[in-house]
Structure 1
Amino acid sequence: MTRPGPQSASPAGRAGSFPSSLAGAVDLSALKERATQPPAQAAPPPQGGPGGPAPQTGRSAVVDVTEQSFETDVLERSNRVLVVVDLWATWCEPCKQLSPVLEKLASEAGGKWVLAKVDVDQNPRIAQAFGVQSIPTVVAIAAGQPLHAFAGVQSEAQIRQWLDELLGAVEGKLPGEPVDDGQEPVEPPRDPRIVAAEDALQDGDFAAAEEAYARILNDEPKNAEAKAGVNHARFLSRVQSLTPDVVATADANPSDVDAQLAAADFEVVSRQQDRAFARLIDVVKTTAGDDRARARERLLSLLELFDPADPLVLSARRNLAAALY
């Protein structure tokens, strides 16, 4: 997303002139599937707003939202209460004026509405889904649909009026947040087989972890968690003894398929997955038979470690298809 200067965030004017209903104008369906974090590249934690990280309690009035939590913290929550999304960035000076006002009003609202803060630099797909042209941009969502929005800095009085109009429009249509009875929410019991496999993974016993996940798959061939676990365990087992010289070895021996596979694994560990994907696609292009099949299978296994919507993954899949056909 191009960083607009402060002057490009045009105010919407007085509260009564905010845009009319946005329902149906913004497609949020692409954000409804939570991205799976790749094991070798943990996503950075949310940075918080200009005034620091937002509180992260279970039903806080102000929450930091990521692409992974958008479905739960915004779409699902908007079925219970009005959610106001604040799209901001650390470099945006107008955001530093607007965000504290929104946070203050959300904290004073007593749960009537929720402020969801989105750092557009950390979460570009959310900004793209809303079609954001400049920041700050603020979007109100109810029942999973955008209602109204404005861009630029507004006064506290204008925002209060805007919120009053929105709350009046959704009154009686949303059930509200569940009552907090002071008890911690009860987590649903986890599959003890998965827990045991994860424990083995954490202990570094990758062979035991793979075996545990494989047993689950034997009983439940469609168990996605076990399938991902097997792939993860195999990857970690392969890379634990790799050293940086595997890349130099592969570069010096382009026809050595084993060297190319090892180098691709190491590049993923080094967070150079674009190089790893390109390397294996080159092997697919230049080999045949078993060697080609091995390179294809290794590439597919590495792609499974990442978010399927990651642009690098999508590009690699397209390039693999072109190389094969």
Structure 2
Amino acid sequence: MSQFSFDVGLADFQRFVIDNSFHAPVLVDFWADWCQPCRTLGPLLEKLAQEYQGAFLLAKINADREQALAAHLGVRSLPTVLVVRDGQIVETLTGAQPESAYRQVIDTYRARIADKVLEQAEAAWHEGRQDDALTLLREGLAQDPGDPDMKVSLAAKLVERESFLEAGKLLRSLPENLHKVEPVAGLLARVAAAEATPKGVDTSAFDRRLAVNPDDHAVRLALAAALLEAGDYERAAEQYLEAFRRDRAFENGAARQGLFKLFETLGNEHPLVAVYRRRLASLLY
């Protein structure tokens, strides 16, 4: 017996299986000493129970000792694994199955981190607690970074707050097959429109000084930094790249470092990053 698996009989079936199933799926493993496949399956299920750390629970029942319980639940051969969720048997796996089959039923019925997070975040957002909603979704993604539903929910809220950079990074990190379906396609279009809007940064003082001396690398780098800060990413990239072309060694490669900072800010999925990585590489090689 461990924290996530336990031996069960008729007397404690309600407490260990039925009651627990309202919090997590319970795999009920019917086994017997004489059953050779059971000897292989038991350790496999124990391993999964430890790996999933409570995402499901394992209840082990000796079918020879609990014949009445096995008969009541319709167990006619060994090994048999019943999947119990919310007090009901939702799956029956008869005979020793490949590990992938048990993983599939566990993943199908376990409570996702996202389910609770999305519910709480939507409630907070509609109650006017927008910062709380964003925090909940960011914390949820820290626990499950690949969940697409939390990414889309967070991105949609960031777009409403006009935080287009973070929203764009989230949306572009989604699988490409989602980029053309709603709501992702619409959100990406709004992000792209915001990115294409001219930014309100006054570069006239920089432009005058560069017109007098195009090789004033400090001024060009200051211009690039100002454009980056203002969110005018393409013009910032152009200035960093031009500074690198003119003097790649200036201030220990500050132009190249500026480009890398811009790439990090945008994220690898942003289309500008691919363009300017190639242009940088062409200057290097």
Q: TM-score when scaled to structure 1?
A: 0.34
For CA contacts below 8 A with separation 6 or more, give which structure has more relative contact order.
1
TM-score under structure 2 length normalisation: 0.38
Q: Which of these two proteins has the greater Rg computed from alpha carbons? A: 2
